[in-house]
Amino acid sequence: MGVLDYFKSVPTMSAEEARRFLAEKDPDEYNLVDVRQPAEYERGHIPGANLIPMAELKDRLHEIDPEKPTIVN
């Protein structure tokens, strides 16, 4: 990943949009990935979120189903 990649636009969802999205869908219709550290996750996370700390993302890509929409927080 190059430095310029950080300037590309990334689609976003507001917390409210995400809340509505998650309420409407079944858990098997999306990926919900939490990229924070375990201690942060332990203190509080969105129900059903899969904890994949940023540093592990590359090695754990297989846990994210590419066929489904993915929400990252």
Partner 1 sequence: MRSRSAATFLLGAGLKNVYNMEGGIRAWKGMVAQGLPEAGMAYFSPAANAEEIVGLAWALEEGSKFFYQGIAEHFSEDKEAHKMFNWLVSAEKSHEKHLLETYEALTGTKPDFEKMRAKFSDSLSGTVMEGGIAVKEALAWIQGKGVSESLELAIAMEVNAFDLYIKMSRAIEDKQAQQIFEKLSEEEQVHLEKLAGLLDKRV
Binding site for partner 1 (CB under 8 A): 1, 5-6, 8, 10-16, 18-19, 22, 26-28, 33, 35-36, 38, 40-51, 54, 57-58, 61, 64, 66, 68-73
Q: Report residue 45 as tokens.
A: 């996370």
> What's the CA gap between 40 and 63, in Å, rounded?
20
For the bound state, the minimum distance from the C-beta of residue 17 to partner 1, rounded and expressed in Å, comes to 8
Measured from the CB of residue 50, what is the shortest distance to partner 1 in angstroms?
Answer: 8
DSSP 34: E
The answer for residues whose C-beta is within 8 angstroms of residue 53's C-beta and 6 or more apart is 35, 36, 37, 38
Closest approach of partner 1 to the CB of residue 51, in Å? 5
